[in-house]
Amino acid sequence: MSTIDKITRLTQQNAEFDMELRKRLNVASANSVLSVDERINQIYEYCIEDVIKKQAEEFYADFPLQSIKDILIRDYIRMESFRRKDNFGDFCLSLYQQIECMTNKLCENSALSEITSKMWGHPAYLKIEKGKELSIYSRNGDYTIASLLFPGNNKQSGNTNAFEKSRKSLQTQYAIDKIRIIVYFFGYKAMMRKSDYDSFVEITSLLNDIYQCRNMNHRGNAQSQWQENTIAKIIPLKSLYFFKFLGVLAQYVEYIKEGWGYIPELKKYSDSIEKRKISAPQL
C-alpha cells in the first residue's frame, strides 16, 4: 500500500487522526503533509502498534494467571510486529515465549504437581459405556497417562520414557513434555477418549513445531537431522504456518482458561485413587 493510500484511508476513517497528524507535522494543507513520507510512515506504524496493543489486551483479557498477564501482552505485541515484518524466526520465538511462560507458571502449581504424580500410572483413556455419560472416575485399558505423554523415541522398544519421566517432579520435566501435560490435563481435563488421540497428536505436533522453530536464529549447538527436516518442511510454507501457529496459540490459551477452573475437580479425583507403580522397561 502506498503512502498516499495509507494517509487517505486513515484520514477518511478517523477525523481525530487527521487533526492530530496535521498538528504533529505543523502543516496546514494535505499536500504538504503528503510530502513528508518517512514521518507519515512513522505515525502510521504508531497507529498500527496501538491497534496491536489493544488486540493483545483483548486476547489475554480473561486469562486466569494475572501475575504473568503483562509479560504475555508484551510478547504478543512483539510477535505481531515480527509477523508484519515477515520475520518468521523471531515471530516463532516470541510466540513460543508466551507458551513457555504460561506453561512454567502452571507447572509451579502444587495442586497440579500432586495430581500428575498420582495419575501417571492410571489409564490415559476413559471407559466408554453405551447409554452412560463419560466420567473421569471410569477409566479403561493398560495404556497409561505417562505412556501417552512421554512416548519413547524407539517405537519397537515401547514407551521407555514413561518409567523414567514419571519419577521426575513436574517442574523438572522437559519443556515439550510440560506442554503435552498442559494439553492433557487442561485441554482434555484428563478425560480423553481413544478417538481423541488424533486431535491430541495434531495439536501437540504443531506445538512441537513451534518449539523447534523458536531457535531458527540460534547460533549455538548444531541442529539434529530431525530438527533440520522439521524446519525445512515449514519454511517453504511459512505464510501458512504464521496462521497455523497463531491458531495453536489461541487454542492453548483457551485450553488453560477452560481447564483452570477444573483443577479442584481433578484434585478431588486424584485424592480418591491410589498411586500406581509404572514398571521399568524390559530389555
Annotate 117-129 with b (16+ C-beta within 10 A) or e (fewer): bbbbbbbbbbeee
Locate 236 and state its grid cell: 517453504
Question: For residue 25, what are the contacts with CB-CB under 8 A and spacing of at least 6?
Answer: 32, 33, 36, 39
The pLDDT of residue 14 is: 67
Domain ranges of the chain: 1-59, 65-271
The pLDDT of residue 153 is: 66
Question: For 132-157, what is each residue's pLDDT tens digit?
Answer: 999 999 999 999 999 999 987 654 44
Residue numbers in the chain where pLDDT is lower than 70: 1-16, 18, 21-46, 153-160, 217-222, 283
Q: Which of 159, 179, 212, 189 is nearest to 258 (CA)?
A: 189
Read off the amino acid at residue 70: D
Q: What radius of gyration do the chain's Cα atoms show?
A: 24
Cα–Cα distance between 151 and 55 in angstroms, integer?
Answer: 37
Question: For 30-56, what is each residue's pLDDT tens digit?
Answer: 444 444 556 666 666 667 788 899 999
CA distances from 241 to 88, 215, 250 (A): 9, 16, 14
